[in-house]
Amino acid sequence: ALTFAEVTLFKRIDLAVAQSNAAAAWDGYLSGLVTSGWDGEAKAVRLGYLASALLRYGVGMVPVSINVVTNSRIHEWAEPVYGFPIEEMIDYWVEVARWRLELMTELMEL
């Protein structure tokens, strides 16, 4: 679950790459469960996987994101940490938020 969340939060990477990596991580995670003898429903695991990541890095990051974006004193610190100017950070986080909304939709449909 952290794969898609953390990388898109702290580093600006191509979202198609992040999405591909997240899909591969999910496939590997599920495969590992099956290999270790688990025989439950993939749907239940997917629900937990998405819920964990989205609560932590979707809903949970809203106050942090708002603070970083609106507090000019933080910009001086945030820009080198995140690796791009605040304006680009906002644009990028909007793209990431759209992806997370897709994942939230998937979660609600499970």
pLDDT tens digits, one per residue of 29-41: 999 999 999 999 9
Q: Please tell me the predicted confidence (pLDDT) of residue 93.
A: 82
Q: How many CB atoms lie within 10 A of CB 53?
A: 21
Q: How many domains does the chain have?
A: 1
The tokens for 93 are 């986080």
pLDDT for position 39: 94
Domain that holds residue 74: 2-109
- pTM for this model (two decimals): 0.78
Average pLDDT, integer, range 64-78: 86
Q: Which amino acid is at 5?
A: A
How far does CA 37 lie from the centroid of its chain? 28
Query: For 85, what's the count of Cα atoms within 13 Å in the CB-facing half-sphere?
Result: 2
Residue 58 in tokens = 């979707």
Q: Are 34 and 41 a contacting pair, CB within 8 Å?
A: no
Q: Taking a C-beta distance cutoff of 8 angstroms, is the pair 42, 105 a contact?
A: no
